[in-house]
Structure 1
Amino acid sequence: MAIIDLMAALMGVSMGFLAFLVIGGISGVSAWIFYPGPSQGLRPGKILLAFLLGVTAAAGSSFLGQYWGFFQSGQILEWASAIFASCAVACLFTALAK
């Protein structure tokens, strides 16, 4: 039983990380591509930076929300805060970079 509990705990952590990687990455890259304004084309360095900022914002909002007691892991408010934070940070970066 201890092995099953350990595997469930590890899978929950890794799946949460993968989910925030996908949420943050998609919102960061889509903000860079679809944000209005002059663009110099799809430069890989800027897209990678937008991707990393989105992932960091999603993970950071999840961590801070759980730390402050607003929600627990896996609740819909955690997902909503991760999506909002990653979109906001990605749009802010894109607005300043373009």
Structure 2
Amino acid sequence: MGFLAFLVIGGISGASAWIFYPGQSRGPKLVKLLLAAFLGFITAFITSYLGQYLGFFQSGQMLEWMSAIFTACLVGCIFTSLAK
């Protein structure tokens, strides 16, 4: 996957975890939303390259997309649960 795909997948996954996670939000909302999106982007990027390095999948396979989305959502939910 390319850089733009990591940005879109990770950003949307992280931001959606922040938006749809229940709970009272404390502090500046926009900064934490952008941080959740950035963490999702970094997680999708690392998952893709780590999976390729370890030989679980090749670039562009469906497993790469699914693992990037799953881990970005997981990290976004963990960050959101700790931040809210």
With the length of structure 2 as denominator, give the TM-score of the two structures: 0.94
In structure 2, stretches of 5+ residues that fail to align are none
Q: Which amino acid in 2 is paired with 1:54? A: G
Displacement after TM superposition at 1:16 (Å): 1.2
Match of 1:62 in 2: 48
Structure 1 unmatched runs, 5+: 1-14
The one-character-per-residue Cα deviations of 1:8-65 (angstroms, maximum 9, x if unpaired) are xxxxxxx611011000000111111110111248711101100100000000000100
Larger Rg, first or second structure (1 or 2): 1
Distance 1:42 1:21 in 2: 23
Pairing 1:92–2:78 present: yes
- Alignment TM-score, normalising by the size of structure 1: 0.81
Structure 1 residue aligned with 2:64, among 75, 78, 82?
A: 78
Count the aligned residue pairs.
Answer: 84
Name the structure, 1 or 2, with higher relative contact order (CA <8 Å, separation 6+): 2
Q: Report the RMSD for the aligned CA atoms in angstroms.
A: 1.4
Q: Which of 31, 48, 63 lines up with 2:34 in the alignment?
A: 48
- Off by >6 Å, runs of 4+ in structure 1: none
* C-alpha distance in 1 between matches for 2:65 and 2:28: 28
Aligned residue for 1:85, secondary structure, equals helix
